[in-house]
Amino acid sequence: MGIEIRVDGLKKAFGRQTIWEDVSFTIPAGEISALLGPSGTGKSVFLKNLVGLLRPDRGHVYVGGRDVPRLRENELYDLRRQFGVLFQDGALFGSMNIYDNIAFPLREHTRKGEAEIKRIVLEKMEMVGLTGAEDKLPGEISGGMKKRAGLARALVLDPEIILADEPDSGLDPVRTAYLNQLFVDLNTDLGATFLIVTHDIGTARVLPDNLGLLFRRGLVMFGPREMVLSSTHPAVNQFFNARRQGPIGMAEEKDQAQLDDEGDAPPAMPAPIQPQLMPSDGRTRPGMRRPGQWLHEHGVTAPPGSFIDDEGRNWLTDWDRLTTGGHRPR
Ligand SMILES: Nc1ncnc2c1ncn2[C@@H]1O[C@H](COP(=O)(O)OP(=O)(O)OP(=O)(O)O)[C@@H](O)[C@H]1O
């Protein structure tokens, strides 16, 4: 389950504003990937290119072998059924209750009867922890519940790919932690490919199998979480360690004079790599890697303090115990 997305030589401009010159990378099937970048680097535009709502000026977007920018409208309609999209605010219809919001794609895009729709809607509501909220209006529920309702609606057509645009925006850290755990559990259950756009480096550090950073009209880096979090690339190091020192400026990239003012300070020691979130029932996800695996295979030393959890357990040495049951992540 889950479909690979491959973009090749993507160029996009709006008038004289170039968003990307040449973006190429592969989002692996069935894994959780997160895309980050300073504001305006085209993360939302990227998601829209994947579903054919925007077309690149040049390049290819292969979704399961089909080149999205070259699809006709009726082919795009079919393609979009493979995607579940969670928009920033949940994008719920304010006048419809939560049940009808979640049922909407089933009524619009399938010929299923109401009994079957009810079964699916209640199943997805249970998956996201919304059982009992059927009759509430969007205005009567919290921001976190709205996101989960949007997520349930994104799931009703059994998508192969789930896109989430800043699902954690406006959520408190606890609700963000619950939502991240939900993504991991859904990925385990459904095997779908997840692509999450976020500004939250706390999320980026523990949730995805793969991380990417957009900056300077391109993709600076995309790869396994451990590769990106241990990188000393100036922009990657600056972004994932939330520092002012580095090429990313207040509103855009810094010029040479600004960089010179910062002196020759070496990149900061990357922050410790935290253990990745595990499925809450202790199962192993297909995309999950042994802690430290990428670092070990590439001869990279983990930043000091890496892979120690809040209770002081070392995931590098405890992996077998953690994956053979008995462990319930927080
Ligand atoms: N349809 C459009 N027409 C013209 N310009 C657009 C369009 N869509 C996006 N843009 C511009 O493209 C740039 C990238 O927008 P996008 O929303 O993808 O950024 P982002 O990386 O998601 O930013 P943020 O992190 O602030 O959400 C912005 O400058 C935006 O104004």
What ipTM score was computed for the predicted complex, to two decimals?
A: 0.97
Number of domains composing the chain: 1
Question: Which pairs count as long-range contacts for 287-294, CB under 8 Å and 24+ apart, including other chains?
Answer: 287/28, 287/30, 287/31, 287/32, 287/187, 287/209, 288/209, 289/209, 289/224, 289/226, 290/319, 291/315, 291/316, 291/319, 292/226, 292/316, 293/226, 294/224, 294/225, 294/226, 294/227
From the centroid of its chain, how far is CA 83?
Answer: 14
Place of tokens 């729709």: 117
Domain range for 111: 5-226
Q: Whose CA is nearest to atom 16 of ligand 1?
A: 42
Count CA atoms within 13 Å of residue 38 on its CB side.
22
CA–centroid distance, residue 285 to ligand 1 (Å): 33
pLDDT along the chain (330 residues), means of 10: 92 92 94 93 93 94 93 90 83 91 92 94 90 92 88 91 90 87 92 94 95 93 95 90 82 69 70 91 85 91 88 78 53
Place of tokens 């042994």: 290
236 located within any domain: no
pLDDT at residue 281 in the model: 83
Q: Whose CA is nearest to atom 3 of ligand 1?
A: 14
242 located within any domain: no
- CATH number of the domain residue 43 falls in: 3.40.50.300
Q: Are 20 and 198 in contact (CB under 8 A)?
A: no
100 located within any domain: yes
Any ligand 1 atom below 6 A from CB of 80? no
Cβ atoms < 10 Å from Cβ of 269: 12
Tokens at residue 50, please?
Answer: 């994947």
181 located within any domain: yes
pTM for the predicted model, two decimal places = 0.91
Q: Are 152 and 130 in contact (CB under 8 A)?
A: yes
Cβ atoms < 10 Å from Cβ of 237: 23
Measured distance between the N- and C-terminal CA atoms of the chain, rounded to whole angstroms? 27
CA–centroid distance, residue 41 to ligand 1 (Å): 7
